[in-house]
Each structure stands twice: as C-alpha cells, then as structure tokens.
Copies of this chain bind each other. A is one copy, B any other.
Amino acid sequence: VRGAPALGIAAAYGVVLGVQNYRGRSREAFYRRFKQIAAIIAGSRPTGRNLFWALERMEKVVKQNLQATVDELKQTLLSEANRILAEDKRTCRRIGTHGAKLLKSGDAVLTHCNAGGLATADFGTALAIIFRAHQQGKRLRVYVDETRPLLQGARLTTWELMHAGIETILICDNMAAAVMGQGKVDCVITGADRIAANGDTANKIGTYGLAVLAREHGIPFYVAAPVSTFDLSLASGEGIPVEERDPREVTEGFGRRIAPAGIKVYSPAFDITPARYITAIVTEKGIIRPPSGSAIRKVLK
C-alpha cells in the first residue's frame, strides 16, 4: 500500500482484520490487543501523516465504547474504517472541485509520483484536481515525472490519466527543468505525505527540487492534500521523519542490476518542501493561499 490517504484507509482496515482473531471477552485485553496491532501498523511507514491519523481515530472509537462487548467493539471498528473510506471519497472530490478553479482550458500541468485514485480511496488528491477540471471540459496536458526509484509516475499516474482520456506525456525526473525552461508547464501539482503547522510539506523525493524549479520559472506550485495530512504538532518540516529505502530499489529496481556491486546508495523516500516555495495548498475545506501557520489554522479549524 502506498499514498498517504490510502495508507490511512489500509491502517483502519488493518486494525479491523487484526482484532478479528481476538476470541476473549475481556474489553481490557481487547484494548491491549488493539494497541499491539496499532503499534505494528504504525511502525510500517514513518512519514505519511494519514496512517497515524487513522489509527488515532480507530483508538478513539475503542476508548469511547469501552462499555460495549468485544463483538460490538469489533463492529464499531469496522464501521469507523468504512467511515474513513467513505469520507476519503468525498474529501477527494471536494479537493478536486476546489482545485479545478486553479486550472483553465489549455493548461499544461506537471505532476510527480502518484496522487491519484491509486493513492486514495478512488479519486486522488493532485489528480482529483486534474480529473475534475477535465470533467468540466477543460482541455489539459499533463507531464508526468516517472518518479525514481519506484516509478509511480510511469507505472500508475500515466495509467490513471490515459484511462481518463487526458493527454499525458511521460518524462524522466531530470527532464522537468528543461520542460519548464521551454515554457511548456503552467503549474505543478503534487500530493503530500505530511504537512507541518507552518505549511512545510513532506512528499515523494523530488518534490522539493520541482518546487525550487517552479519558482525559478515563475510557475505556481500547488500541493493537494486532505486535512488529515496536516500534523499541527510539528512546528515545521524539520520534525517530519523521512523514511530511507532499501538501496536495491535504486540498484536493482527493474529486475536488472544497474550499478556496480558494493556501491553506496542514499535513498530517502521523501523530501521536505519549505512552505515558501508552495503557492497554495488545496484541501477539502478550501484553498490555503499562500500557506502559513495562521492561514492553515483558519481553514482547518
């Protein structure tokens, strides 16, 4: 599972599945089992906020219903997971509707990684904006970074956009600067894995470079994310933990070794884009433009 919102949904259902085998009648023991399972799931991916947000929601419903029977608690957890899924579908559509206002017919968008249906319940965050604008009859062209090392752009985003009938052009990550320099890009839209209280945004490795390049070329840089991606406990992006990935994803990711044996690799899965490079953050509650601590608190409250 990948994509911050999808991780949240999967975490919720993961808890539901994890507690199914609990056969006892003790609510206290059930709650301990719940905590064990939640800890295992929480340890799976450190960066995406939605994973922890979903686990916190799941824990809250357990704590609020500790008078219920174990069977009722299991049902309550399933209902909450279903609610998280249903809410994500609505959330993504609202992000799309808000964000579509940022696009006009004829625009070329550049996106990175996959923030589409395959990263959420079904409509995406960054791609929701493109899908909605396309549904409104706006003619769009989308440049898709292949997104090394795992190629989510090449494998997933291209497929989603082509499936929707939107003109799609695949590029290697290192071609984005040239494409911008040639005046071919009107805006950049990406998703987010975690957004700090000041708007600093963790997203797929390569996002930060795109944001710097966008500003250098006078191109708006938009982030699309649900409110559940915000982590107001972190003052800035410095506190966001960034997962490092297995070097073999770089050196052997395509089923063929592409670098000498013994080579050192540095492979952070995410980078942090300072808020000052972000033109606007599109949420289901509206557009935060420009992102700042007070603007974020105002929209999120």
Q: Give the interface of A toward B (CB within 8 A).
A: 112, 143, 145-149, 151, 154-155, 158-159, 162, 167-179, 181, 205-206, 208-209, 212-213, 216, 250-251, 253-256, 258-260, 262-268, 271-272
Bound Cα distance from A226 to B72, whole angstroms: 77
Residue from A159, A260, A262 whose CB has the most chain B CB atoms within 10 Å: A260
- B212 with A259: CB separation less than 8 A: no
Using CB atoms, name the residue of chain B closest to A163: B260
With A172-B149, A259-B154 already in contact, the answer to whether A209 and B266 are too (CB < 8 A) is no
- Check if B254 sits within 8 Å of A255, measured CB to CB: yes
Asked whether, in the complex, the Cβ of A169 is within 8 Å of the Cβ of B265, the reply is yes
Contacts of A256 in B (CB 8 A): 254-256
Q: Which of B112, B146, B209, B254 contacts A178 (CB 8 A)?
A: B209
Q: Given A175-B268, A259-B155 in contact, is the A170-B205 Cβ separation under 8 Å? A: no
Chain B contacts of A169 at CB under 8 A? Answer: 264-266
Task: Tell me whether A170 and B251 are in contact in the complex, defined as CB-CB below 8 angstroms, given that A177-B271, A178-B205 are known contacts.
Answer: yes
A213-B205 CB under 8 A given contacts A258-B151, A263-B158, A266-B179:
no
Verify A177–B258 contact, CB threshold 8 A: no
Q: How far is the CA of A289 from the CA of B117 in the complex (A)?
A: 50
User: Can you give 16 A-B contacts (C-beta < 8 A)?
Assistant: A145-B174, A146-B258, A155-B259, A162-B260, A162-B263, A170-B251, A172-B173, A172-B267, A173-B173, A174-B209, A175-B267, A175-B268, A175-B271, A176-B209, A178-B205, A178-B271
